[in-house]
Structure 1
Amino acid sequence: MSGDHIPSSDPAVGRKSAALPNGERRSTKGVKVDDVASTITGDLLMLLHKNFHIPNDVVTTVPKRSDRASLPPPGYLTISETSLRAGLRFPPPAELVEILRRCGVCLSQAMSVIVGLIALFRDRGTVLTPEHLSRMGRLTSDMQGRVTFRCKWLDMHTRDPAKSWSSSYFFVRNDWGLLEKWGKMRDLPAPLHVGEEDIMRLLKVSDVEHLLYEVCYLNKYIEEEFLFKVGLSFHPGKSDARMLKLTSKVPEPPVPVPKAASKRQVGGEDPQVLLKKKKLEGVTVNTGKVVPVSSPIKIRVPGDVLSHQCVGRRKADNLVRNPFLVFLFFLFWNDFQFPSSLLFQLSRRTELEAELTRALNKWNAEFVRIMYLQGEFKQKNDQRTREDNMLEEELSGYRTELENIVQSVSLQNQQLDRLQVDLERAQAMIIQLREDQRASGEKVAVLEAENKRSQTLIAKKEAALMSFESSRVIEDFKKLIAFKIIIQDHVQEACDHIYEVNVKALEQQCLDDGFIRGFLKGVRLMQRKTGVEVEGLTPSQASDDFPPGSDGDEIESELQKAFALEADDEMVDIE
């Protein structure tokens, strides 16, 4: 039931829409609900809670940038701000819930006129049922799924939706079992047992024109005081015993006023003041066409009222027409005035009677006018008294609301004070942390400088140590080379000495004993022991004399000495 405009207070606006100038066609292109994100913020949602008296137990949430009106989160309903301005309050009335279930649509699809009709039926002491709504008009849906209401019987229909209905929305938790996603509209069956006369009888109206007037002026039924009156709105802290009584007498539609008179009256008074007065009287009108409100001094007294004769006027007329009183009058006139003829007396009587009649008529008209104005003044006084009482009630409500606001502001101030204290503590902690960080930075800089100095000292130590080790190694190497040279010299001297003493002596001995003869003896001895023939050895050489008892030990020892001496010479040469 969100999004549609309330039917205008002007009957011409509430009926068939007028044609656009210059033959222009009304654009049917609307805003798609799947393409628009919500413009409701947290602060605006709090204002909606306050202005439209949303109970505290109703859970509401602000839509995200990715949420859309046709696809609310699971367990939530889409509610438009236009719906609240059209009279929707929480919890939703049972009549609206039943109609939505019958039609198969969600709360954000239905039209705003339903709440006004529910308030109208409740004010007349009855309940709006789907059968009554189906008899009064037809529910239709457009291409986007928006439901509108058209009443052929009363020749009226709801206006086009507001431009902001698709963007100014929020989500409410579904505690009433309503359809959450947008559904397809199902037509209500036409009831055969409910007729137009039954609806007029339930609404206590006399004719169709009167019913059309009530339907076209549904704005007055969705005002906050009226919604509270019929039980559609609940104000915290406001007793139900203060609710207004239901309407016992149906107000008659106002008499049409000429446009010229209406413009003159509107130019004389402020339209906002007139609108406020009419709201206090229980009738909401359009500010563009305000019904003129005349003061009691300028009230035109109807002709039938002026033609009425009061009791005093009738008594005076009877006195004038009484013959006995006329005779006494003329007798008194003849005694105290100059004598006259009978004809003069009759003519004078006629003139006096006519003059007296005119005076009585004037007095009667003035008296009737004064009485009529007195009644009008009394009526205006009573109306002003009612206005004062309503203003006093409204003032008391404003005072209560102001006290609540003051209390809320005080709580907010206390919370702000606590937050300020926490903020100061956090700032002090941040300053302390910055000082600690600065001190830590200084310590790190000092440690880095110490590290650099240590690295420099270590490098110097390493350089000094490296230079010292290399010089010592070189000295040791030089000493080793010198020692090696000395050793080599001693070895060479020993070799030379051995060669000079032993080898030369052996050579001399071998030469003396005959080296060749001894060698052959050794070969023959080896041939006997091993049985191996030696190539190049002749039989004569192999059979030379050799002492039979000799085993060749002497020759072997001599050869070993010779070979050992030769090996020593080779080793000395290699070194």
Structure 2
Amino acid sequence: MGDPTSTKNLSTKGDHFVARREGVKKTYKATKTDDVVSTVTGDALLAFRKKYYFPNDMVVKVPARSDRACSPPLRFVTVYEFSLRAGLRFPPSPELSDILMICGVSLAQLSYRAMSIIMGLIVLFRDRGAVLSPDCLARMGRLIGDTQGRISFRSKWLDIRTRDLSKSWISDFFYVKNDWNLLEKWGKLRELPIPLHLGAEELLKILKFSDIDTLHYEVRYLSRYIDEEYLFKVGLSTQAGRSHAQMLKKSVKVSEAAIQSSKISPKRPGSEDNVQTVKKKRVEEVLTVTSKDPHISPSKSHIPEDVLKHQCVGRRYTEELNQKIDCLHIELVDAQMMINQQMKDQEILVAENKRLQSMLSERETQQLPSTVIDDFKKSAAFKIIVEDHIQEARNHIYDVEVKALEADCMEEGFIRGFMKGVRAVQRKTGAEIDGLTPSQASGDPSSDSGGEEIESELQKAFSLEEDEDDIDIL
């Protein structure tokens, strides 16, 4: 007998661990989409209709054993159950349809992480009054594909936490009629180009966040945005509860056995009425999102009663109109405040204008005489008046000066004539006269011709003085 262990291939503990990991990896690689059969049944589809609020007119189909997820029937698309848990609702949102068309992939190619992130971002953008575009999605992260064609999502600067607890998701798929022009066959991923014109600041402006920390916080807990309340709030879920088999269209074939089995299926603790009451109370409650982050303030959203009774047809359009009305009201208030401020400024300007006008009138009143004088000086009348005054001054000067000169001349002529007469008398008599008195001067003149000449000259001199005429005695 030999050693029983000698025939075995001995290996170390580490080698055994490596071999086991390789076996697991090989098993995982063997599980491809082409090899997996769907485990979804008619009962499961009824449960999906009731839980995820399928529209009544939506056609669904249970896959046969020969059907595969990557090859749906004509005019049908493949849908995984985890996509419904990740926030997918029917009809698909326009944002999701645009992203799928641009990337060239089918709805079933998105993994739970990719689907939950895209739907969460769609809800986040709608909740902030914006629309998720492919450029915004490309700026926030990157869609990547594996060898089997499945699409995941990576983000370097956003900490997005998502986790799928299901372990048997690969076989939970079914078919939905393609009424939305989605890609049916699986395709190769075309990566979204990174928009260079769109940065973090532009994202903050689109989402109306104050800083990047707020955006990081919202994206870190993005999984809360795929809750039914948020989906209903932004218009992605109807919450109609119209998924009973009796309310389905006739084109949908449901066997009686499936209906009976669904009726006798075990229920959760509590009656159906209690469950509906709990759901209604949960929906009627105010959705309050609170956080310990200082940048996040609590936000409240009240769901009115008419919505619960399904009387709000076009609710999303009504919400948009209400938002527009609120924006217009805010703009109106701002415009009224601006008009009031402008009226106050106008009153201040009017008062200032009146004050300046009064000051100007006072200045004009003070400067009016000088202005009149200046204008008068520039006029021809002033020149005439000045010339008249000058002529009067000249005439006055002439009258005073010339008459004074004439008086002086007459006095000097008289003296000269008198002295000439005296000298003539002296020459005639031959006597010297030391002094001449008025009585001596008034003596009888001689009879010669010399005396007569003197007398005539003296008479002429006296006549000139009386008549005030200009006579030159000499």
TM-score by length of 1: 0.38
Q: Kindly name which structure, 1 or 2, has the bigger radius of gyration based on alpha carbons.
A: 1
TM value normalised by structure 2: 0.45
